Structure 1
């Protein structure tokens, strides 16, 4: 596997040429403007793309064909570090964790006005993004105007066994929630109207790039990634332990019964599974498969709405009428429900299948309906009192 320690305009241009792409096609491939690509290439070695684009360029190189990688290495010349070979049998997995918390619309508005906050393109919501430091990965806080912040933590993993990843997931979750709470407290420390933001859960997504098992075991490997609890002994102390190697081999070869797993993907193009704990995806044909950005964008929206509905549900369970800003009331949730559950004319079959699987297994449609009803009732009661 070829790696680049730090991307500059020089390596970016070499990659574009290796992929046989025009500046316009390369810009669309990365999800940036043509002007951005031109600026990188004009600056050559003196220009370094932003951290999130460094990651996007890593992904583009990793997904390139072997012929394109050979052309890239030849074009990059002696300044490119020597290729780094993965250990035989290792998986290459990109872990994405989504940690949402409700902070309130007023606090979200103030956070979006921070100098470091950047407006994030979104089809139907006002969203800003702020980079959050993390010792072992890259994290971005997505700030939604409705009052929810979703921390998106991305980490690169190379486990020898999937059970190792599963055990790491359990162990890291014990640290993720306190860490997320500290980061939210830091972001909100200067916000006088902010409320206590307590993240309650971590949702995972795993993108499998390189197999550490037999090709014929691919489907079961992706299914196991979507439900990693199958691969750990959760009763072990002091922390969950991976199952023995022979158990994992049996699960990979024979599979396991899990009716709650929703499959998506297209034969020959991709394999994907969605469950309540998370989503897993492997692009068999990267040039035709869903991009990481498409998968991440949907999950961020789903987790935002889940946390928003959870905030409303908590008020109801505590015997209070949920009070939300009018523009983010039941009509806002009705629109969100329609957007997440109704196919779009321009939507590809792959994206439609992925959206349906992710939304269905999250339980979000039911929560949206319940939250709408609670807000409508609270609005009606408020009108009666006012009258």
Structure 2
């Protein structure tokens, strides 16, 4: 049995991470309010009271042997203590399929592009969408997803073979400089081609990028594979980003140290099961199916992320109007009822949903914080229309 001498918010959140639970699910498991978990996220050094420490001790004792071992290894790494492990993991060559999502809110300007697109089946959020070729010259595949609510999401798919994960991280941050400008130019061109009148409004530039990686050929096992997925999800720990135009690797040996210590991000959530392993974080998702014939298809992760990014951009537009001192106004068909419908579709389990799909969906929604944003945007639109 693992003994935790002093439970703080840091250890409590570490337990939540190895149990692969959302904030609400973890709170329900402990029998406490979700606000307590949110408090730990903001106050990681806060010492838990004796009664809470007993609850956490009991919860840890009920974890599976695999979860307890993961907690032991990560707790030791958190404290800077050596850990005994059978896996000697090191940086290694690997192949990944990179999926990049760049959402842009276009509003009513999307109408001519939407009319020109080919109908596509609605995703998990039930959002009406169409698609056009994006025409990226370097990507293996590129698609422009057009949502009737006014959001366009560019999806780029690229196969990368790298000698180590630091090399992949440098490439990814280079894309942060290249791809948003390309998307802006591409959307401006398409709007000009499909619009009868000159396009009005600001330049259609993505506010952010999100990456999802499917790890394919590699040599990691056990804890080494877990560390690799964590680093794929949060590559910022491998690079120096002081100059965004010239992101470079951190000091030599940094990736070796991360593998040696079994590094993990405290807010990342694992998902999957015996036949697949994945990690979801704020800036990305990493997934390794094993074996392929029984694993969660990567396409299900892509379908969810497309709807998540579209709704994130839509809710961001609504909330930005409030920040700028304006009452949020949307067409009635895309008002608060539209957001409420999408919220329930994304957060409600389906009878045919597998356990792998459920844990993936919950992890992505929790780390993206989309449910909270949808509720806030929904409340703002309802208040405006009342």
Q: Same fold (TM over 0.5)?
A: yes
Separation in structure 1 between the aligned mates of residue 258 and residue 309 of structure 2, nearest angstrom: 30
> What's the offset of the Cα at 1:307?
0.1
Separation in structure 1 between the aligned mates of residue 149 and residue 94 of structure 2, nearest angstrom: 39
Classify the secondary structure of the residue corresponding to 2:327: coil
Residue 129 of structure 2 aligns with which residue?
Answer: 127
1:336 maps onto 2:338 in alignment: no
Residue 297 of structure 1 aligns with which residue?
Answer: 303
TM-score by length of 2: 0.71
Paired residue for 1:179, among 178, 182, 206? 182
Q: Which has the higher contact order (CA 8 A, sep 6+)?
A: 2
Separation in structure 1 between the aligned mates of residue 130 and residue 341 of structure 2, nearest angstrom: 20
Separation in structure 2 between the aligned mates of residue 103 and residue 375 of structure 1, nearest angstrom: 18
Paired residue for 2:210, among 203, 218, 221? 203
Paired residue for 1:234, among 220, 241, 248? 241
Higher alpha-carbon deviation: 333-342 or 182-191: 182-191
Classify the secondary structure of the residue corresponding to 2:291: coil
Q: CA RMSD in A?
A: 1.8
Q: Contact (CA 8 Å) 2:177, 2:245: kept in 1 or not?
A: no
Paired residue for 2:352, among 346, 352, 373? 346
For these two proteins, the number of residue pairs brought into alignment is: 289
* Gaps in structure 1 of 5+ consecutive residues: 1-87, 381-387
* Gaps in structure 2 of 5+ consecutive residues: 1-90
Paired residue for 2:114, among 112, 115, 128? 112
> What's the offset of the Cα at 1:245?
5.2
Q: Contact (CA 8 Å) 1:207, 1:281: kept in 2 or not?
A: yes
Q: Contact (CA 8 Å) 1:188, 1:194: kept in 2 or not?
A: no
Q: Contact (CA 8 Å) 2:127, 2:307: kept in 1 or not?
A: no
Paired residue for 2:374, among 359, 368, 373? 368
Separation in structure 2 between the aligned mates of residue 300 and residue 169 of structure 1, nearest angstrom: 19
Q: For 1:212-251, what aligned pairs fall within 5 Å after superposition?
A: 212-213=219-220, 216-235=223-242, 239-244=246-251, 246-251=253-258
Classify the secondary structure of the residue corresponding to 1:210: coil
Q: Contact (CA 8 Å) 1:262, 1:357: kept in 2 or not?
A: yes
Separation in structure 1 between the aligned mates of residue 201 and residue 352 of structure 2, nearest angstrom: 39
Separation in structure 2 between the aligned mates of residue 290 and residue 242 of structure 1, nearest angstrom: 33
TM-score by length of 1: 0.71
> What's the offset of the Cα at 1:331?
0.5
Separation in structure 2 between the aligned mates of residue 245 and residue 120 of structure 1, nearest angstrom: 47
Change in 2 beyond 3 A, CA 1:108/1:236: closer
Residue 19 of structure 2 aligns with which residue?
Answer: none
1:379 maps onto 2:381 in alignment: no
Higher alpha-carbon deviation: 245-254 or 318-327: 245-254
Classify the secondary structure of the residue corresponding to 2:292: coil
Q: Contact (CA 8 Å) 2:230, 2:263: kept in 1 or not?
A: no
Q: Contact (CA 8 Å) 1:220, 1:253: kept in 2 or not?
A: no
Residue 284 of structure 1 aligns with which residue?
Answer: 290
Separation in structure 2 between the aligned mates of residue 270 and residue 363 of structure 1, nearest angstrom: 24
